[in-house]
Amino acid sequence: MTLHISEAAPHQIEADAVVIGVTKESGGAVPVPGTKDVDEALGGSLAQTLATLGVTGEAGEITKIPSAGQLTAPLIVAVGMDAPAGGDATFDPEVLRRAAGSAVRGLLQARPPGSTEDMRIALALPARDSAEAAAVALGALLGGYSFRRYREPAPGASLTVLAHASDAAEAVQRAQVIADAVALVRDLVNTPPSDLVPATFAARAEQVAANSGLAITILDESALADGGYGGIVGVGQGSVHPPRLVRLEHAPEGASRSLVLAGKGITFDSGGLSLKPAKSMEAMKSDMSGAAAVLGAIQAIAALRLPVRVVAYLPLAENMPSGSAQRPSDVVTIFGGTTVEVTNTDAEGRLVLADVLAASAADSPDILVDVATLTGAQIVALGPRVGGVMSNDDGLREAVVDAARRAGDAMWPMPLPAELGKGLESAVADLVNLPADSRGGGMLIAGLFLQEFVPDGVRWAHLDIAGPAFNESAPYGYTPKGGTGAATRTLVQLAQDMADGRL
C-alpha cells in the first residue's frame, strides 16, 4: 500500500475510485465539505442521487455511484460519517479516520477476484488542515490492512489524500509511521502461536531494533532464572518453548524525561494447569497484544525521533500445562524478592508483569505504563471495545485517558479501591496472585496486584485491553477482524505529550 498527497481536483484525479463523505441530517444524507467539486462535475445532482438511493449517512455506510464519464475516475464512493456537517468547523479526527477506513476497507474487500493491479483510491474527504489530512490518511492506511501471511498476497492499493493544507505532507508522513506500527502489532497478534513462540517474538524485536536504531537486550531462560525473574520463569516453565525477556531502549541525546513501557507477552494462554475451557482458549493467541503494542510504539517513537528516553519491556512466555508446569499453590519469587503464591495458574499475566514493573526501578522512570490483555473482567465491565485505565496517580490516569481519546483508542478511567486488595493476602507468601473469594472487580484486583510491584514514588498507569486488542466480531471503521493494534497509538501519544511538555 502506498500513500500520496495531492492538490488535484477530485473530478480530475486519475483513480479507480473517489471517496466522498456524506453525513446524516434529519432529511437524509447530506454531502460534507470536500464534496463540492464532485457535485459540480455531476451538474449539481449529488444530493438528489443520494436521496434516490436512500442513502442515510450512517457511520460506515458505503454507497457506490458510477460517475458515467463526468469525473476522470469511473466510481464515486460515498461513505457515511454520521457527524454534524460542521460548516466551517473541522471534523472530529476519529470520525474522519473511521470514514476513510470504512471506504478503503470496503473497496479493497469488494475487488473482483484475480485483479492484480494496484487499486487507486483517491480520498476527497474533508482535509482542510493538517489534522484533518492526517486523520484521513491514517484511517485509510489502517482500513487497508489485511493479514495475508497464510494466503495469496493481497493486490496492492495506491491511496491519494486530496488535501490543500500547506503543512499536510509532514502530518501525513507521521500517519504513515503510526500505521506501520499498528500493522506490525496486528501482524504479531494475528500470527498463530505455533509460529510466534517467545524466541520468535524476540527475534522479531531484534529486527525492529536493528531497523530503528534501538538498543536491545534479550534474556533467555537461564539468564532469567539467574537474574531472579521468578514470575516469567514460573509461567514459562510448562512450555517446550522457553520464555524470553526483551528490553529495548530509545535514548536520544539530551533527553531529560523517561518513559518505561511494559507489555504482557503471553504467546498463548491455555491457562496452564488451571486449564481454560476450550471456548475461552480460542482467542488466546492474542494474549501477547500488550507486548506487541509496546514494540510497535517504540518503533514509531524512534521513527518520529521523539526527544524522550523510552524503555520497552516485553516479558514473553507461553502458558502451558505439562509435567514441568507450575502448580496451583507453588510459590514464586518475583524480581526484587516479593513472594507470590500462585493460587491459579491462569492469572499469569500479572506474574510476568510483576517482574518487569519491579525491574524498571533501575531505569528511574518519570512515567511507567503497562499494557495487558489482563482480565476477562475488563470485558465484563467495559465491553469488547473499551479498555480500562488504572493508575496510582489521578492526574496521570486522566492524562492517559485523554491521550487515548486524541490518538483514537477507546479507554475509560477505572479505580483501584484499596479494600479489594485485602484479598491478596496469602497464608504462606507475601501475596496470592488470585484472591480465593473475589466477587466482582476482577480488573481492579489485577491492577491492585500490579501496583504492589511499582517502584516507590513512580507515577504508573495500567491499561487493560483484554477486549479491544482482538476483534472477534465483524470489521468496523478502520478496525479489522482479529488483531486491532489497540493501545499502540496511545503509547506513542504519551511519549509525544512528554516531549511537548504537556505530561
Residue numbers annotated as active site: 276, 350
3-state secondary structure 136-175: HHHHHHHHCCCCCCCCCCCCCEEEEEECCCCCHHHHHHHH
Q: Please, what is the minimum distance in Å from the beta carbon of residue 237 to Zn ion?
A: 16
Q: Please, what is the minimum distance in Å from the beta carbon of residue 237 to ligand BES?
A: 16
Of positions 349, 387, 421, 483, contacts ligand BES by CB under 6 A? 349
Please report whether residue 486 would count as binding ligand BES according to CB under 6 A.
no
Q: Residue 196's closest CA among 3, 205, 4?
A: 205
DSSP three-state, residue 219: strand
Task: Compose the 319-358 pattern: x for residues touching Mn ion by CB under 5 A, - for all others.
Answer: ---------------------------x-x----------
C-alpha 95/C-alpha 88 separation (Å) is 16
Please report whether residue 270 would count as binding ligand BES according to CB under 6 A.
no
Q: Please, what is the minimum distance in Å from the beta carbon of residue 371 to Mn ion?
A: 16
C-alpha 477/C-alpha 153 separation (Å) is 22
Binding site partner of 468, from Zn ion, ligand BES, Mn ion, none, Cβ cut-off 5-8 A by kind? none
Q: Residue 317's closest CA among 198, 408, 429?
A: 198
Please report, as residue ranges, which positions from 378 to 407 form the binding site for ligand BES (by CB under 6 A). none
Q: Please, what is the minimum distance in Å from the beta carbon of residue 348 to Mn ion?
A: 5
Of positions 434, 491, 494, 503, contacts ligand BES by CB under 6 A? 434
Concatenated DSSP letters of 361-386: GGG--SEEEEEE---HHHHHHH-SS-
Please report whether residue 409 would count as binding ligand BES according to CB under 6 A.
no
Binding site partner of 466, from Zn ion, Mn ion, ligand BES, none, Cβ cut-off 5-8 A by kind? ligand BES
Residues 6 or more apart whose Cβ sits within 8 Å of residue 105:
143, 144, 475, 478, 480
Q: Which residue is nearest to ligand BES, using beta carbons?
A: 376
- The sign of the CA dihedral 219, 222, 226, 232 is positive
Q: What angle do CA 361, 367, 369 make, to 5 degrees?
A: 90
Grid cell 481492579 — which residue? 444
Q: What angle do CA 328, 280, 330 make, to 5 degrees?
A: 10
User: CB-wise, 106 or 442, nearer to ligand BES?
Assistant: 442
Q: Please, what is the minimum distance in Å from the beta carbon of residue 324 to Mn ion?
A: 18
DSSP three-state, residue 183: helix
Q: Using the rule CB under 6 A, give the single segment among 55-63, 207-215, 344-352, 410-418 that binds ligand BES.
A: 344-352
Of positions 84, 227, 228, 376, contacts ligand BES by CB under 6 A? 376
Please report whether residue 487 would count as binding ligand BES according to CB under 6 A.
no
Q: Locate 142 and state its grid cell.
A: 489502517
Please report whether residue 61 would count as binding Mn ion according to CB under 5 A.
no
Please report whether residue 348 would count as binding ligand BES according to CB under 6 A.
yes
Residues within the interface to ligand BES (CB under 6 A): 269, 283, 287, 344, 346-349, 373, 375-377, 434, 442, 466
